[in-house]
Structure 1
Amino acid sequence: MFTKACEYGIRACIFVALNSMEKRRVSLKEIAQSIDSPEYFTAKILQKLAKGKIIYSVQGAQGGFEMEEAKIRTISIEDIVLVIDGEVAFTMCVLGLKKCSEVNPCPVHHKYKNIKADLKEMIKTTTVFDMVDQVNDGHSFLKIFELE
């Protein structure tokens, strides 16, 4: 459902939030390595997130990326998706057809409609804090926490 950029954007927000809660800014390089994304691609994603006021970029020797604690608690997956992919993430056909609609449905349109509604509700109500909390509680993990 999400583009690769969006997946990386969600992971980046979790990583930045985890560090921000520890009062630590993180560099582009740290973020890219932690979410397993090419640095140049991560830079573009972080630029969109900063422009959308999801995260903040601080210049200088003590610079890096951070997220305000209030935003960690209120920013949802939906907010991140809208900044990176826009509305198309919620309106596109599951089979990628351009003219899929209620009037001209694709073969799985009606079956997928309820799943799509449930998914949209989940991403609307799941905050960055919820995801960080899952990682901190050990119920979920990011690549950065895997034991290798």
Structure 2
Amino acid sequence: MATVTFYEKPGCINNTRQKRLLAAAGHQVIAKNILTENWQAERLRIFFGALAVRNWFNYSAPAIKNGEIDADNLTEQEALVLMLKNPLLIRRPLMQVGNRFMAGFDQEIVNNWIGLKEIETNQDLENCPRPLTQPNCGHE
């Protein structure tokens, strides 16, 4: 069993499902609000490890869906500056177990990292299933 610090957007359907999978596997989940956390560039950067900059982003964020931000053409520094200004851009969840960090919820990677009791193969747990126009959809 691991203690997982889990940075989420409260109300996000997928973050709720992800936390349930972690808890079902016996992990203790300490949920924190990714939007109100006092992020610093250096601290945020460690969650992304060797991921390409484009994979640091939440593609359900309105600024990306509306074409205001092109995540394919940003440097690390530009990406971090944008994310500090608008935490909705950060790929969710961010997870920490001890001195290990992760962005996103690839079930196979999480299973290999800390273990999952079951894997939901029929559901996309990374992309928001709700349209941008739905009120309180977790995009805002």
Task: Please give the range of the TM-score, normalised by the shorter of the 2 chains.
Answer: 0.3 to 0.5
- Between Structure 1 and Structure 2, which shows a larger proportion of helix residues? 1
- Between Structure 1 and Structure 2, which shows a larger proportion of strand residues? 2
